[in-house]
Structure 1
């Protein structure tokens, strides 16, 4: 389909008249190839592109969105006592715009990065605070205050009256989800979950934060109660993620969990942050180096945008997280990347591969033989010049002595 006929959509809001216009434009395009092409064929093709099985289903979805937008008081169960939980603040404003009345609370700890171990609460918070402060160059006292406040709120989840967890399918969200559920001794009276891995009409769904307020209203009736089985699965997964061996995590990543259906793919993706057996690169590192090799020198911001828009199979990183993950490839004693224009803010600095970067990307050298930074994936520690876990082509852990 030519560019001007693209039905690209990112925030989930669809306008039926606009789609009808696009269908007519597409019909003219199709008739150039087949004079017998019909409007129904164009509508069907457009609906398929937007993720629907038929034009009537596209229309029904738009009608549902319109209804949600026209009825801001769509569900009185969202009361002032309701707490909406999220692993960041990206939907806080949109919830207000959509007419939600409850309190917003977040756990911003990026559990998909840095050391995550099963420790007593005070030690766990200190471990995470130290990592966050170091990785993002933030004042330790400020970080410790925020971490303590957020985890104190999370500890109160068990006794809360009505809480709703808003999650998507990626590792950032799913790790937040299992951390929240694993902390429960029992399921609260009314703990609900909204989780989504795709939105009809959104060609590349990255996260709930990209959605329009009325799409959040449309999601609201789809929430479901968290049950005992979900808590049990979460406890198993959290323990496996904190383990110094990734074997149990790999087993859980290959098992369907009906109570938490989006968990296994997120765990599989997180396992791919372990070094690859051939090149020693995490999947994030490999995707980044590949694009930089194709396009470099290229600005940091463009690399991140490329991964989010096209290459990352299950986007889970924010821009600052992405930058922190790539710093060891630049700052190490034997770097894979060189950055220039260092007087600029980091998103505008150009990066390019070093000769070693090319060798690693081509499989002629292994990054783990040259890396000088300690790195963690959950409870798995990767230390320079030490035996460590790698991941093979089938996402199975391999111990390398």
Structure 2
């Protein structure tokens, strides 16, 4: 085992780190925990459930890959120093709390540090560490900070709340978390993915539908529009395709992927909003009651045509409707 091990959430960051001339080994841990079931179960059951979910989205053999990621981090805990490279957004923060909760349970390394940023002076429209050049990552290395016990305890508490079948602890945590600077904002963003009390749309669904209604028809334009207004949630190609598929199935869009979404059709994508979609944006149609839902927010299974948990942003409360 190397005396120093870096763990990052994605291949692009790992590739740049490998060119940054930093000491130590590099491990990747990557799973989009904002998607699909995330339950308080054994490792084997977790890998199985996650693998089944990703297989339903067209990604085969994910269970073995996820198991390998976990085993890699378990081994890395034996290093003298373990450095976590995780940025501010929901994707990275959910991964961070899972890893910290796991390390706390299985054994912490001698020294645990983190590089975590939400901006960079040389990247005005910063989205993540994977955008940075190797020399920019190398400059962040001396700025890594130790993860104290209070940060680890916050991660454990947040992970329990995220994986619970009842989400009502999450709004309280967004006000109490202090040691992990970006976690409260990420949990707030997690709550915004619950259906709206009136329209039944998640924030991502509403933003995508609104962008199409403004005339954004192609994938590149939709991704750019989402990134411009939603820095805590990096919309990926896969999430965009699945969101368009869902909105199309509800009759809100024309030209959306009809079957299981495929990245192959991304370049040719051209979608337009329907009259029914404009009604949904205006809150005249409840998406959940109109076409049902079958989705997960951590440990919460949103299913059927209601009642389901919904997030009332202005009132900052979860309701069942």
Indicate the SS of the match to 2:214: helix
Match of 1:187 among 86, 108, 125: 108
Q: Is the 8 A contact 2:245 2:256 kept in 1?
A: no
Rate the CA distance shift 1:85–1:340 in 2: closer, same or farther, 3 A: closer
Corresponding pairs, count: 315
Q: How does 1:390-401 map to 2 (within 5 A)?
A: 390-394=310-314, 396-401=316-321
Looking at structure 1, the residues matched to 231 and 283 of structure 2 have their Cα atoms a distance apart, in angstroms, of 22
Looking at structure 2, the residues matched to 114 and 98 of structure 1 have their Cα atoms a distance apart, in angstroms, of 34
1:187 to partner: Cα distance: 3.1
Q: Is the 8 A contact 1:115 1:377 kept in 2?
A: yes
1:375 corresponds in structure 2 to 295
Normalization by structure 1: what TM-score?
0.74
1:107-128: per-residue Cα shift (whole Å, max 9, x none)?
1110111111111111111111
1:210 to partner: Cα distance: 0.8
1:221 to partner: Cα distance: 0.6
1:290 to partner: Cα distance: 0.7
Q: Is the 8 A contact 1:328 1:373 kept in 2?
A: no
Looking at structure 2, the residues matched to 399 and 306 of structure 1 have their Cα atoms a distance apart, in angstroms, of 29
Rate the CA distance shift 1:276–1:116 in 2: closer, same or farther, 3 A: same
Match of 1:98 among 13, 20, 23: 20
Match of 1:253 among 174, 177, 185: 174
Looking at structure 1, the residues matched to 98 and 76 of structure 2 have their Cα atoms a distance apart, in angstroms, of 12
2:252 corresponds in structure 1 to 336
Q: How does 1:240-319 map to 2 (within 5 A)?
A: 240-257=161-178, 259-296=179-216, 298-308=217-227, 310-319=228-237
Q: Gaps (5+ residues) in structure 2?
A: none
Normalization by structure 2: what TM-score?
0.91
Q: How does 1:1-400 map to 2 (within 5 A)?
A: 80-135=2-57, 137-139=58-60, 142-183=61-102, 184-185=104-105, 186-257=107-178, 259-296=179-216, 298-308=217-227, 310-330=228-248, 332=249, 334-339=250-255, 345-394=265-314, 396-400=316-320
Rate the CA distance shift 1:91–1:234 in 2: closer, same or farther, 3 A: same
Looking at structure 2, the residues matched to 363 and 193 of structure 1 have their Cα atoms a distance apart, in angstroms, of 42
Looking at structure 1, the residues matched to 318 and 63 of structure 2 have their Cα atoms a distance apart, in angstroms, of 36
Q: Is the 8 A contact 2:244 2:256 kept in 1?
A: no
Q: Is the 8 A contact 1:115 1:379 kept in 2?
A: yes
Q: Gaps (5+ residues) in structure 1?
A: 1-78
1:214-249: per-residue Cα shift (whole Å, max 9, x none)?
111111011012222111111100000011122111
RMSD: 2.1
Rate the CA distance shift 1:83–1:327 in 2: closer, same or farther, 3 A: farther
Indicate the SS of the match to 1:347: coil
Indicate the SS of the match to 1:221: helix
1:311 to partner: Cα distance: 2.0
Rate the CA distance shift 1:389–1:99 in 2: closer, same or farther, 3 A: same
Rate the CA distance shift 1:361–1:314 in 2: closer, same or farther, 3 A: same
